[in-house]
Amino acid sequence: MNKDVKEVLDKISSGNYNPEEEAIAKLWLHQLHQNDEAGLSEKELHEVSDQMWLSLERNKKQSWNHKYRKSVVYMAAAASLALIVGVGLYFNQQQPLSKPIQSGAYTNDIPAGSNKAYLTLANGKKLVLTNSANGKLAEEAGIKITKTADGQLVYTVADQGEKGIAGYNRIETPRGGQYQLNLPDGTKIWLNSASSLKYPVSFAALKERRVELSGEAYFEVAKDKIHPFIVKSGRQQVQVLGTHFDVNAYPDEQLIKTTLLEGSVKLNEQVILKPGEQSSLTGEKFSVKQVNVNDAIDWKNGEFVFTNESLTSILKKVSRWYDVEIKYVHTPVSVPTFTGSVSRSENISGVLKMLEETSNVRFSIEGRLINIITK
């Protein structure tokens, strides 16, 4: 690699660069984009561009985050070098060398989802938890159900001896909803949008704590070596004694993903996960890989986090959280991928604008229909 390039790149990477060196780095990025006349191989072009972009962004992110706060740390389409360079110029040039692509204007907007759920008791009674007043909601055979000020659903089971209470409750979150609940055994569960959980009214006198999940949920299971906790989701069964993990098992997804944060879990009596691992179940076959677990529970932490994630996958999440329909006006030739993060509390326009600013994808909003225009 050219010596001058390496010297400036080293300074950019360390953060110890002056305005002149920053300007030189931006000029090189522009040259890479225009005609690749930097005297580097194709591999080195990618390396220089990527490192400059990440280093400049890392050293400027505090001032940039002041504007967007929890919106986007950075949003870079990873489809090609030219696209990465274009994004770098757009965010870093005070006087861009080329005119940035303008985001589409939206005639209306859609707010983010919120805490809302529907609870069906074992006796068939249905409760709308969204608008229910705080305090005692229902009491059935010694089960007291309350909702706290922050929207958490809490179950308290009276002492039932060894008899326990028969029957199952079901809690469901609609599209555009999420909810948190505590089961009678002390297990805490967060439900993502468009999800449901079926569970026993009481775990007393049961040999195992078995629940059924459709959609996505994050579990913090109370430890009980005598009574294993089992999560059934479609063709997958997760068995634990006490641990923290996420299960993504939406019916419209091809894979069932299980991500372990701490402890250990056993999947279908075949696979044992370790902390930091994620399994993907396709058909009857498991594959396991190391992941950033925070990416898997971004929704629980109030964010969308994308790591080389396809536009198709991102828009599925957007569709569930904002309760919208997605429609492609033109079938894309190739599907771009993105890396970045956006707050889930943003209106949908905030998410769409971030995607627009880093790709040639454009959106329009018609009621609850999101039209996607690709070039």
Average pLDDT over residues 93-111: 51
Q: Give residue-wise pLDDT tens across range 121-148.
A: 888 989 888 766 667 777 765 677 787 7
pTM higher than 0.75: no
d(CA 295, CA 303): 9
d(CA 221, CA 50) in angstroms, rounded, equals 41
Closest CA to 322 of 348, 354, 345: 348
Q: Tell me the pLDDT of the chain averaged across its residues.
A: 76
User: Is residue 59 predicted with pLDDT exceeding 60?
Assistant: no
What integer pLDDT is reported at residue 174 of this predicted model? 96
Q: Between these two residues, 359 and 79, which has the higher pLDDT value? A: 359
Cα-based torsion angle of the residue sequence 275, 281, 285, 289 in order, rounded to the nearest 10 degrees = -40
Which tokens go with 74? Answer: 């950075």
From CA 37, how far away is CA 89, in angstroms rounded?
Answer: 17
H or E segment and range at residue 227: none
Could you report the per-residue pLDDT of 183-221, keeping only the tens digit for each? 888 899 999 999 999 998 888 778 899 999 999 999 999
Q: Return the DSSP state at 198.
A: E
Contacts of 184 (CB under 8 A, 6+ apart): 143, 155, 156, 157, 201, 202, 203, 204
